[in-house]
Amino acid sequence: MDGYRILEIKRSVFENNDKDADRLRQQLKKDRTFLLNLMSSPGSGKTTTLKKTIAALKDEYRIGVMEADIDSDVDAAAIEGTGAKVIQLHTGGMCHLDADMTRQGLEGLGDEDLDIAILENVGNLVCPAEFDTGSVKNAMILSVPEGDDKPLKYPLMFTICDCLLINKIDVLPYFDFDIEECSKRARRLNPNIKIIPICAKTGEGISDFAAWIKAETAAWIG
């Protein structure tokens, strides 16, 4: 009888979020704040990587971190010890952040006093890739134990990221992980992606990541 309407909810949500994300970037540009969205699967080493990265940058930049999680404040407590400004964001069960949620986080963090804001997104390689948070750049961490086939399984995540950190390279001898093959797979999806092998535990490669953030921040702030 066709007595009903079909609404393309998913499309509408994405379109509205994309517009909101663009507005947020405009505000960040005006505030001269660089926002980095850091994503990965659980256990990849995001928080440890952040701690080492903050240590490499904190003498030159005012840094704030938004720790997003479904629950708990474990990561925020860990970051607090770095001296960076930090706020914990609870997503209420949602597996991602969108632009409006990120804006609320920035307001709570007080981005007017920051040069660099970092969003540690919810640990997930699917949902966070689908929502533009309003970040200036996206980065992701892939750890060696996860396998070098992740670009084949989660192509969108690798497509939307500007920087790929391959973490836990200290355990390469114990896993069947081919960095060259992983890099080829990532670059087929995203020819411009920056790939940096790191070991967050020892600090290897962190200076390269910090240098990338410096360059992107300078380009954004002008």
* CA gap 49, 200 in Å, rounded: 5
What pLDDT is recorded for position 71?
Answer: 60
DSSP alpha helices (H): ranges in 85-194? Answer: 99-109, 127-130, 150-153, 155-160, 179-189
User: Whole-structure pTM over 0.85, yes or no?
Assistant: yes
pLDDT of residue 211: 98
User: What per-residue confidence (pLDDT) applies to 11?
Assistant: 59
HSE-CB at 105 with a 13 A cutoff on CA atoms is 30
For residue 75, what pLDDT is reported? 78
Question: What amino acid occupies position 102?
Answer: T
Cβ-contact 63, 57 below 8 angstroms: yes
**pLDDT score, position 7:** 44
Query: Residue holding tokens 């949620």?
Result: 101
**Residue appearing with tokens 């930049």:** 61
| pLDDT at 10 (0 to 100) | 52
With a CB cutoff of 8 Å and minimum separation 6, the contacts of 148 are 176, 177, 178, 179, 181, 182, 185
Q: What is the pLDDT of residue 1?
A: 47
The list of the chain residues with pLDDT below 70 reads 1-13, 70-73, 93, 111
Query: Quick count: other Cβ atoms within 10 Å of Cβ 28?
Result: 22
The SS3 assignment for 209 reads: helix
